[in-house]
Amino acid sequence: MQHEKTHIVPYRTYLIILVALLIFTLLSVKITAIELGGLTVAAALIFASLKSYLVLTYFMHLKFDKIYIRIMVGFVFAVFLAVIIITFLDYYFR
């Protein structure tokens, strides 16, 4: 096997990401404490998506990996979303 070169991520990057993640966490706690009706769920999910994006790209190294792994991950999330949407074609229109 030829050696693929590895990318060493500096500690600082991880620290910055953690700070961002913590900020998003606190923001989502604060925002959902306000009475926003249906928007509460949306806000909570948006922050969760932002956080998972950061975890996937930096902690899980997608940013530094070969492109096809990123495509696979995107594909899996897309399939899952499609399944939820199709399931709701039943529950939403019942």
Partner 1 sequence: MSQVIHHDEHYDAEGSKIGMWLFIFTELLLFGGLFIIYSVYRFSNQDAFHLAAEELNRTVGTINTIILLVSSMTIAMSTSALQKKQKKTTLALLGVTLLLGLVFLVNKYFEWGTKFEHGIFPGSQYMLDHLSQGEILFFGLYFVMTGLHALHIIVGMVVIGFAYAGVRSGRVNADRAALLENSGLYWHLVDLIWIFLFPLFYLIH
Partner 2 sequence: MQASSHIPHDVSYLDYKGKHKGLLAWILSTDHKRIALLYMFSMMTLFLVGVLLGLAMKLELIAPGKTIMGAQDYNAVFTVHGVIMIFMIVVPGLPAVFGNFLLPIMIGAKDVAFPKLNLFSWYVYIAGAILVIISVLFGDGSPDTGWTFYAPYSFKTGTNMLPAIFGAFVLGFSSILTGLNFIVTIHRLRAPGMSWTKMPLFPWTIYGTAWIQLLATPVVGITLVLVSLERIFGIGVFDPALGGDPILYQHLFWIYSHPAVYIMILPAMGAISEVIPTFSQKHIFGYKAIVASTLAIAFVGYFVWGHHMFTSGMSGTAQYTFSILTFLVAIPSAIKVFNWISTMYKGSISLETPFYWAASFIFVFMIGGLSGLVLGALATDVYVHDTAFVVAHFHFIVFGGVGFAFFAAIHYWFPKMFGRMYDTTWANVGWIVFFIGFLALYSPMFYLGLQGMPRRYYDYLEQFHAANILSTLGSWVMTFGLAIVLINLFRSAKSGPIAGANPWNGKTLEWTVPSPPPVENFEEIPVYGEKDGPYEY
> What does the DSSP assignment read for 28-82?
HHHHHHS--TTHHHHHHHHHHHHHHHHIIIIIT-GGGS-HHHHHHHHHHHHHHHH
72 binds partner 1 (CB under 8 A): yes
Place of tokens 């999910």: 45
Contact status, residue 58 vs residue 17, Cβ threshold 8 Å: yes
Cα(76)–Cα(79) distance, rounded to whole angstroms?
5
Q: Which is nearer to partner 1, 1 or 67 (CB)?
A: 1
5 contact choice in partner 2, partner 1, none (CB below 5 to 8 Å, kind-dependent)? none
Q: Does 59 bind partner 1 (CB under 8 A)?
A: yes
* CB-facing half-sphere around the CA of 9: CA atoms within 13 A: 16
40 binds partner 1 (CB under 8 A): yes
Residue from 39, 48, 78, 82 binding partner 1 (CB under 8 A): 48
Q: Would you tell me which residues interact with partner 1 (CB under 8 A)?
A: 1, 4, 6, 8-11, 14-15, 17-18, 21-22, 25-26, 28-29, 32, 40-41, 44-45, 47-48, 51-52, 55-56, 58-61, 65-66, 69, 72-73, 76-77, 80, 83-84, 87-88, 91-92
